[in-house]
Structure 1
């Protein structure tokens, strides 16, 4: 127990809380945070396992909101491309992947904070494209919820429907990439001490997030989430350059 960082676990809980309420999923916050404590391969392995618990919790708490049509249009290409992204990850230098992640978070957040009028047309084609990009990003960088969130936002879903559908898709992604990361050797025995803690945190963070969601307008909180993603992107870029 002495080797466990409790500050990291606290930050993981906060990431889950923001991920639930903001609608992007916790990985967009969890991955950059975990990068300060683990090598990038370990981050990918822990994120996949942690997210399984996190998304199961969301499925249970928000299950009545599932949009089956979006689940198919976004979920299927997401699963296909998360496997592809996970397989090619081992061919990239970890420091380059961290740099790509930082640039992605920074550009994504800044763009949508400045250009609030940007919208994605709610059609099947864009759902498939968004699912493909979010899946590939999740496999390669550990997080694709931001891209999926933007795609789903185009359909003007009620927030419970949004979170439930996103969680179902995320669960399929995490289930698939866990096997790929294991095959790549990204799930390390010395990191497994954190798994029980992260599984509990996923449940607790989701439950708290559901309660908070009742008091905060989704559109306002998303601006807060984007601001936090921007800050995390800057920190991740700084950390990548220092290394």
Structure 2
């Protein structure tokens, strides 16, 4: 069952990310988190996310705006290292507290608390009108790189913030998407460099068949999303997934997942 759910999430998330800030990382982290520890979910998502971004780079990369990539991407790379490092620190921390419901004991873990809060924050970009339409002047592109890079390194969630800053950069639709893909690749390379030790230490726990199928599903989503590169609004799907994202974040924060 996890194969079907994860592959479907990869397919939908990869397609959605071409049209909005809502993306693959936002969707895959909680889905992987249903079947793996949250730190493992972030690692697995990072691998699929990076491979999918390389595929999208092949499809769209030539339309990227180099000036915007440099102004946004360089700060993003630096702060993605920092976000990934913070994640590695959180992984090793002890529970903050615990509580019981009946015969079950639940622990409030620092990593789950922080990731849950981050997921809740990014879910607001999908449902709160003032957040959905949030835009920043292009002079703040380096600030956007800092924020997007840090949260990308910490949790894999960067698309919504990146879109909010890039939307004012006077880019064509094709260039807007391609520039976002290049920046996402840079952030992925940065955070995977930090994650590499954890990936090597945990590779025996990886289901490589699942990783391969999830990556191929993301490729298919990106391919058909590129073919349908018009203003596609999948409001119902986004609202359902956002609701599930909020629910997952709350259960993560209170230690049930």
The question of a shared fold, defined as TM-score above 0.5 by the shorter chain, is answered with yes
Shift of 1:222: 7.9
| Preserved contact between residue 48 and residue 175 of structure 1 (Cα < 8 Å) | no
Selected match of 1:203 from 196, 219, 224: 219
Distance in structure 2 (CA, Å) of the matches to 1:234 and 1:4: 20
Query: Could you report, residue by residue, the CA deviation over 1:165-208 in whole angstroms, capped at 9, with x for unpaired residues?
Result: 11111111111211211224575322242222233223211101
Corresponding residue pairs, total: 234
Matches within 5 A, 1:87-126: 87-92=85-90, 93-111=110-128, 113-114=129-130, 118-123=134-139, 126=140
Distance in structure 1 (CA, Å) of the matches to 2:237 and 2:161: 14
| Preserved contact between residue 68 and residue 169 of structure 2 (Cα < 8 Å) | no
Unaligned runs of 5+ in 1: none
2:186 aligned residue: 172
Matches within 5 A, 1:42-57: 42-57=40-55
Matches within 5 A, 1:121-160: 121-123=137-139, 126-160=140-174
More helix by share: 1
| Preserved contact between residue 75 and residue 145 of structure 2 (Cα < 8 Å) | yes
* Root-mean-square deviation (Å): 2.4
| Preserved contact between residue 6 and residue 28 of structure 2 (Cα < 8 Å) | no
Distance in structure 2 (CA, Å) of the matches to 1:159 and 1:98: 31
Distance in structure 1 (CA, Å) of the matches to 2:238 and 2:4: 26
CA change 1:41–1:152 in 2 (3 A) is same
Q: Does 1:189 pair with 2:213?
A: no
Distance in structure 2 (CA, Å) of the matches to 1:105 and 1:151: 15
Shift of 1:116: 5.9
Shift of 1:233: 3.4
| Preserved contact between residue 25 and residue 49 of structure 2 (Cα < 8 Å) | yes
Distance in structure 1 (CA, Å) of the matches to 2:191 and 2:135: 29
Unaligned runs of 5+ in 2: 91-109
Distance in structure 2 (CA, Å) of the matches to 1:225 and 1:154: 26
1:235 aligned residue: 247
CA change 1:83–1:187 in 2 (3 A) is farther
Structure possessing the higher radius of gyration over alpha carbons: 2
> What secondary structure does 2:214 align onto?
helix
TM-score for the superposition, normalised by structure 2: 0.81
Distance in structure 1 (CA, Å) of the matches to 2:186 and 2:237: 24
CA change 1:153–1:6 in 2 (3 A) is same
CA change 1:8–1:226 in 2 (3 A) is closer
TM-score for the superposition, normalised by structure 1: 0.85
| Preserved contact between residue 71 and residue 168 of structure 1 (Cα < 8 Å) | yes
Shift of 1:20: 2.3
